[in-house]
Chain A
Amino acid sequence: GAGVSQTPSNKVTEKGKYVELRCDPISGHTALYWYRQSLGQGPEFLIYFQGTGAADDSGLPNDRFFAVRPEGSVSTLKIQRTERGDSAVYLCASSPRAGTSYNEQFFGPGTRLTVL
């Protein structure tokens, strides 16, 4: 079956611009996660959705970052007034459910964001 998909695969923008990154989770998965992976680092947790609501947004670095999942499926990560330090690969993952000790997350290929 189809895995997690993310669009675009690459995004180049200028400092100060607004960007949206999209994630399509595996069908039927209720949990959705966003991570950010900087060069040479492991992924860092940003936000977690259970259904439509953000259950944990403690990883969002500041109020320029926002994410939505209005219908409990597709999610969009929004970054306002982008800065060069926002350049990274943004990963999305989905999981059949959350709140259990075994919680395999299936990752998408990522969106590489470059802020010039």
Chain B
Amino acid sequence: GNSVTQMEGPVTLSEEAFLTINCTYTATGYPSLFWYVQYPGEGLQLLLKATKADDKGSNKGFEATYRKETTSFHLEKGSVQVSDSAVYFCALRGGGADGLTFGKGTHLIIQP
């Protein structure tokens, strides 16, 4: 079946640091890949997506590239801000399933 593995948190960085949150997946076929974000006190929001190999999703300075050869979809941002503090979830849809399969989430804390 489908599965998503992402790095454990919390991840604590200083403002303007470079961010990488690793995500790898297992799925049959060609899944679509997503990063969702949950800000404190808010619901899940789609951050970015990629639907085929080598696609790069980007939004709000965040990027992730769909790497089929390494089954990865790592999230990166060049310079994080305090407002980026949130829980980030990597997810996939595919392998015959309509629902999303999520990782456990990574809590990101940005200190001023």
Contacts and interface: CB of A to CB of B under 8 A. Distances in A.
Interface of A: 3-4, 31, 33, 35, 40-46, 48, 55-56, 58-59, 91, 93, 98-99, 101-110
B89 interface: yes
A41 B102 CA distance: 9
Q: Is the interface of A mostly helix, strand, loop or mixed?
A: loop
Interface of B: 4, 32, 36, 42-46, 49, 51-52, 89, 91, 93, 97-105
Contact of A102 (B44, B49, B100): B49
Contacts of B43: 3-4, 91, 107-110
Given A41-B105, A42-B89, A42-B103, A98 B44 contact: no
Contact of A98 (B45, B49, B98, B104): B98
A33 B99 contact: yes
Given A43-B100, A48-B99, 4 more contacts: A42-B102, A42-B104, A45-B101, A99-B98
A110 B98 CA distance: 20
B89 A103 contact: no
A105 B104 contact: no
B51 A56 contact: no
A70 to B, nearest CB: 20
A43 B101 CA distance: 8
